[in-house]
Structure 1
């Protein structure tokens, strides 16, 4: 028996960099370094653990939608241990929102073939966390989201979801979509051997025509959600210095009360 796992990953701006919007109010990805979304690394890790713990023949494919530089995210996932990668790239995808992205991902995983789709809980740039659910709806398969533990037994995916007041044990029949949280297990660091091996692993490149998607179904002009305005964060002002000359405690209390901290 074989198991085909597709991990959806995203190439995002480095959160430690100076991020800002471009003129069209989309995220400017040219002036800041990009990388594999940290939350997606957990998804890759869980897919690899399923593969390592399975008696079946498991193939792990990583899939991303993004510009040319998004291949860096795929290379990171391949160096972690994924078997192959798919890159969907098309100029008409610029500005596509979560709903449009879910369409592209759905078409891509259908074309690739899948039994299980694993996603991170959210991207670190948009932080919407809705794509796994949208993807499951488009594919017409079950979704088991926000898992801190996941496994596959036979034709069933099982997992644990930890809430604020309760823990749930969930399962769904394959094919299915799952998303995992940052509590699912530390992602492995690529070894030198893994980095070298990744250079020989196949990376397929598809565009909208390969997926039979019309340009008026994606892109900024066809997005359901857009940014209408944005302003830069104001510069940090100087703090208030309280000099203790016998009344420091009183002044500090008055300051905190004035800020409604107490």
Structure 2
């Protein structure tokens, strides 16, 4: 989803951190390696072709890798970055849902609204907390949160859940293509967890997307608590997804 959504939104001409470039092997393609302008590498590369893919990006600056777990592991080694220190290195379950089978939770007293309906300072606070907990942000969390929230507001793909007029959870789509959405940025403050709020927020947002024509949703889960909420909505695990972000930018040096 990330390579295609970035391509659709930002193209290949550069000028945006998520603008794309690609290495493609075979016709029809049997392996595709995407890379963003800011250095995130997004493989759809069978493990046996990791060496050739690594050579295609030799000498380039890499911030991290995102993709199917075994592919990321193989490509990391082929890039010569197996020992590089990581800020975040986590393999998570990958889930999929046919939206015709969405199981809606109770939403009594709850209402979903655009992100702009919540106070900006609250949005920044929540996104910084999300970044620290889920993405491993250390320094500059507030600045990154401001950048993210500005982008989310502009794109209109994130929502706030209100309970009796009070904001209680946040959800969104971090990638969207015709017929399919990818859930991301789900956050409930720690003091409000365990009440089904994230599940309700995601369910209501998915119902909205389904009504607009989406047929499928995917996501990866950062915790077992979150995974239980997604399973309750009807999601089924289909694989493993790795998020790898290096502590410092790395130069690819294939063997």
Task: Classify the TM-score, shorter chain.
Answer: under 0.3
TM-score, normalised via structure 2 length: 0.27
Structure 1 length normalisation: TM-score? 0.26
Q: Which has the higher strand share?
A: 2
